[in-house]
């Protein structure tokens, strides 16, 4: 079954990337968020990504502005997702927000529709339970920037069915992405490890061992990473990093996941990274 229309719930940092990738690959997206303001801002970012995609990648398909606009439906009504072949959820990494949404999605969506949970750390089995149809829920952990990443971490929950897996693999093949399948534990592989790096880098900065630039430079120049941990945290969004650390801490009850006070203070100060123009680094719009 070729997927023609995909629902995207949550049009923030990663939701924008998911819609960009869908639209570039000729898939229509029904995009749901809380307000029309948020949706319009997201659409402007998606159009900007599509405009610059040819500069950043020679292999991505092209889409004109008009084609992109034809493929995007913006809505604040969850009910509009009922016509979609598959739903990708990317709302805030907060169980108090995700749980009631999955309860509603489970009631609203036709029984054969599967949900891809694009969570950073929350257990897919826990999400499946809230949806009331755990066989249809699978984890799909996209990385930022979504349209430029060749692979995705796919997480099989305790009850995830072969049908949900095959629907997701179909979608990922339409997006020309490789799936790396792992089992379900909070944080999966990627964030269970990467959040320790990012959190400890913030502690190193807090302890005045080094500057943000030098911390990142050691990862790039000595370890050969494409980005350092503090740049990565800025790209993800410091609020999402803090939410994820809190989920990991709560899930494992292991002090190694206690959030660095500096990280939390930056979130309270509204310095969320690239999305607000200031985090460990300062960014300029445009
Ligand atoms: N940022 C990343 O690099 C990244 C990567 C992979 C996965 N994720 C995960 O994706 C999810 C979203 O992360 P983000 O960084 O995009 O966060 P974000 O804060 O940038 O965006 C979250 C969006 O969800 C919307 N939202 C909140 N409640 C909603 C509701 N009830 N109905 C509809 N929309 C609602 C918000 O308005 C916002 O636009 C989180 O679970 C996060 O862990 C993030």
The 10s digit of each residue's pLDDT in 68-109 is 999 999 999 999 999 999 999 999 999 999 999 999 999 999
Look at residue 245 in the predicted model and tell me its pLDDT. Answer: 98
pLDDT digits (tens, 9 = 90+) for 10-56: 999 999 999 999 999 999 999 999 999 999 999 999 999 999 999 99
Q: For a substitution probing ligand 1, which of 91, 149, 238 has the most ligand atoms within 8 Å of its CB?
A: 91
Is 286's pLDDT higher than 60?
no
The rounded percent of the chain whose pLDDT value lies above 70 is: 99
Given the CA of residue 93, which atom of ligand 1 is nearest to it? 41
Q: Give the per-residue pLDDT at 284.
A: 83
- Ligand 1: centre distance to CA 193 (Å): 21
Q: Is the CB of 227 under 6 A from ligand 1?
A: no
CA of residue 178 relative to chain centroid, distance: 16
- Cβ–ligand 1 distance for 237 under 6 Å, the answer yes
**Contact at 8 Å (CB) between 159 and 125?**
yes
Residue identifier of the C-alpha nearest atom 43 of ligand 1: 120
Domain annotation for the chain: domains and CATH numbers: 5-183 (3.40.50.720), 192-276 (1.10.1040.10)
Q: Is the CB of 160 under 6 A from ligand 1?
A: no
**CB 139 less than 6 A from any atom of ligand 1:** no
Q: Calculate what percentage of the chain has a pLDDT beyond 90.
A: 99
State in Å: Cα 204 to ligand 1 middle. 28
Q: Is 12 in the pocket of ligand 1 (CB under 6 A)?
A: yes
Q: Is ligand 1 within 6 A of the CB of residue 136?
A: no
| CA-42 nearest atom, ligand 1 | 39
> Does residue 279's CB lie within 6 angstroms of at least one atom of ligand 1?
no
**What sign does the CA torsion over 129, 131, 132, 136 have?**
negative
Output the six-digit token pair for 269: 């100060």
225 CA distance to ligand 1 middle (Å): 26
Q: Is 14 in the pocket of ligand 1 (CB under 6 A)?
A: yes
Among 18, 41, 90, say which to mutate for ligand 1: greatest number of ligand atoms within 8 Å of CB.
90
């Amino acid at each position: 079954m070729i997927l023609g229309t995909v629902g995207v719930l949550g049009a923030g940092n990663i939701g924008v990337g998911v819609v960009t990738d869908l639209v570039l690959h000729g898939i229509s997206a029904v995009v749901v968020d809380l307000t029309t303001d948020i949706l319009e801002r997201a659409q402007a970012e998606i159009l900007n990504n599509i405009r610059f995609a040819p500069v950043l990648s020679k292999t991505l398909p092209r889409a004109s502005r008009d084609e992109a606009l034809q493929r995007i439906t913006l809505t604040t009504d969850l009910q509009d997702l009922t016509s979609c072949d598959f739903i990708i959820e990317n709302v805030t990494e907060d169980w108090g927000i995700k749980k009631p949404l999955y309860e509603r999605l489970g009631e609203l969506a036709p029984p054969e529709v599967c949900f891809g949970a694009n969570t950073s750390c929350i257990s897919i089995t826990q999400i499946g339970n809230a949806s009331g149809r755990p066989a249809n829920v699978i984890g799909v952990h996209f990385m930022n920037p979504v349209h430029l990443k060749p692979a995705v971490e796919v997480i099989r929950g305790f009850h995830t069915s072969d049908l949900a897996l095959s629907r997701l693999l179909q979608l990922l093949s339409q997006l020309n992405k490789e799936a790396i399948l792992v089992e379900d534990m909070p944080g999966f592989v990627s964030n269970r490890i990467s959040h320790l790096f990012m959190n400890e880098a913030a502690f190193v900065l807090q302890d005045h061992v080094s500057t943000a630039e030098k911390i990142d430079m050691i990862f790039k120049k000595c370890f050969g990473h494409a980005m350092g941990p503090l740049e990565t945290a800025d790209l993800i969004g410091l609020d999402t990093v803090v939410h994820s650390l809190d989920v990991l801490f709560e899930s494992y009850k292991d002090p190694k996941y206690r959030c660095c006070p500096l990280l939390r203070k930056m979130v309270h100060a509204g310095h969320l990274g690239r999305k607000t123009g200031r985090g460990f680094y300062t960014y300029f719009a445009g």
